[in-house]
Copies of this chain bind each other. A is one copy, B any other.
Amino acid sequence: MRLAELSRRSGVATATIKFYLREGLLPAGRRVSSTQAEYDEEHLRRLQLVRALIQVGGISVAAAREVLTAVDDSSVDQVSRMGTAVAALPQPLPGPAADDPGAATADRVAREVQERLGWRVVPENPAHQALVSAISALLRLGYPCDGAALLPYGELAGRLAEHELSLVEEFAAPTTQLEAAVALTVLYEPVLLSLRRLAQAEQATRRLRDGIPPR
């Protein structure tokens, strides 16, 4: 298809598509004349992923490029590609500051919850570092936060991950699976957070208005 059709089918303006092409977020089309190029379904899928990352995920062009480079890196195995691509997504929090006095305790709690769940601890995963920061903040503010308090969150996260990896496996090609893993990670974060807010409102209303005792 030509650029105009790619724009129509994706809902992305041609000027934006040209910007993504220049920035290397979208591979060049197949040249059919000095002024025209031909695009295929793969370009359409990649364009939708770029839009998800940038428009929904609020991810910078530089971070999106890093994610896509990992997705396309066929020199390493599928697990490493997925790990690198997802790790290149912006984290919920930066890792703990070098002078954070609570980081060591928070790191112990982060390890404890993962060990209790039977997960391998990979301290260099930026998500582990983000978890350490979050735990350190909770402890500093005097909120209870030990391995036991985090266990329900970890168990639920584990069930979501099983569900999500099953969705990803429904895509046939390795690269399409990686694209889906990245897209679902980004797109389901606001789903999860907004449902949690709605659930809290529902619970608060039930408990405080109707006097339903806590279970």
Pick from A19-27, A32-40, A61-69, A120-128 the stretch touching chain B: A120-128
Q: Is A162 an interface residue (CB 8 A)?
A: yes
| Closest partner residue, chain B, to A134 (CB atom) | B190
Among residues 156 to 210 in chain A, which have CB atoms less than 8 Å away from a CB atom of chain B? 156-167, 169, 180-181, 183-185, 187-205, 207-209
Q: Are B169 and A127 in contact (CB under 8 A)?
A: no
**Interface size on A (CB < 8 Å)?**
82
Selected contact of A141 from candidates B52, B114, B181, CB within 8 Å: B52
Would A162 and B203 count as touching, CB distance under 8 A? yes
- Contact between chains at A128 and B165 (CB < 8 Å): no
Q: Is A103 positioned at the interface, with any CB of B under 8 Å from its CB?
A: no
Known A56-B134, A156-B156, A196-B160; judge A125-B191 contact (CB<8 A): no
Known: A156-B156, A183-B143, A190-B134. A161 touches B56 (CB 8 A): no
A83-B205, A138-B187, A143-B187 given; name 14 further pairs at CB < 8 Å: A48-B141, A52-B141, A86-B201, A120-B205, A127-B198, A130-B194, A131-B198, A133-B190, A138-B188, A150-B191, A156-B160, A161-B199, A162-B215, A192-B196
